[in-house]
Chains A and B, each alone.
Chain A
């Protein structure tokens, strides 16, 4: 598991700019001018940024959980945390999915993960940790909006949240602190895997869409990376 702290403010500044432009994405699309290319690029960038941000957050959070969670070789069997959306998927199955399905899965997964993260934030005992979590939640919210934008740009409907599937964060008395910590650990790990997977998804989508929106993408690339 490679969750390590690190930072790059330049990257952050750039991606904040990207975030800033995100709300405009659906509107742009509605006018039909630039196509989905730019929004896919932005989503991809945001995913990469979140990956980076998560490394920092996970370092802090795992230290908070204490040993053995913060030990580098800690690799527990996945117990509990059953409601967490699994990012791991058979490569063949994954390749067989179409863009719409992939985007839908991404969207649903992040919706769930965001809910869990917010619960995590409520639980955190230290102010510093809360700040980090809140910051990450905001970024993840941005990613969710970004994916929605891409889906809208491509003409896919947003998945409707089914009643009951909305995860309820209730660490009731039956839930022990240890299992809670285990869930937190898996949440971070799933997030990391999902972000990694999403980055690949969006990269693939980006390449697919490139001919239609080459110019815009190039401009963005020159600007950002």
Chain B
């Protein structure tokens, strides 16, 4: 180790690898004062990228923030072997953290239960306990339209990835389709479920555009696939014995459903057959997260404000984004449960758990993959948010600061910031690079039930028990 500091210019033999482990280029003799900037230029040159993409460098799972020599000395890394430096591409755009509440809009007469931005970030919809669905104008920060069509609490909201439909589910099992351009419901309610709707999810845009099919899960134990154009149930996926808590539509066409009967079932959508059953949890499975979830939700839209002229163009754009997010590894699924643990699965490959993520001291309420799939964040009722590695499931850090159970979490589109909303009426923004609290967003008078970060990263919307919808800006 001392040999490094003795000579004037001792070089370190190193090899650059990508996150999956493949080497980029050959072994390099790097000077010991090479820092992240020099490596960044090197990687871009080696990969011959047209536009320089920012990278984050990791030596043995620790981020490289200072010149190589001092980093190795500090962390006592051996130089006997060839040094492996993992290069993680980061998002090109950078999102500014939101700092202030730009608007508090009242309107709902009961607690706000769900809030969602459209995939192109142009519209905002919220559902509440007063059975109304409200559309909000983001630019003027005022209410746009209020519709009372549901007969009971509006529990779930989901925008179609192409932005053409909004679907809402309520406590009496009814589903209503909306046309966002006119803010009016499309036809009467879709009835079928016998108990309340727990989750709604659309088919990914790269599989079919314009978006037609969506799936809904309910307390009665069924998952139904609906066709928005035909306005009826296409397939019913029965099998769960207790309530289905969450449903996700994967990019390869498989549907994943988690239930209170401690299992996760994997279904194929053409015939509605059960492909696999993932067993491993000891108590209710509350939530699911897919590694490509953010990309599937936003469809063809990304941080550039592009408009698409045809459905075919949208499909191609969505497919390109999906391929970039997925790369070559199979889709990963993380499930959070009441037994205080989470499990990382690769459902397309096998039915055995890849990693078990323990550490929480209370039930895990919400798990969410970062948009680039590198991290998984989990919010739990033990007042903490934990960050895990998205590929291996290793624990990285805990974010402590909330004084009440953490209800929902949301990522910024560049995967650098994490937002958490809690029962203690505050929201907190955590920075991934420094693993510390970035911003504290107090202001709600009561519990915060739902948070959403717009896909373009400009605004955050939050709603809760105090019936006010708050819009936050930087």
The answer to whether A and B come from one shared complex is no
Measured CB to CB, the residues of B under 8 A from A are none
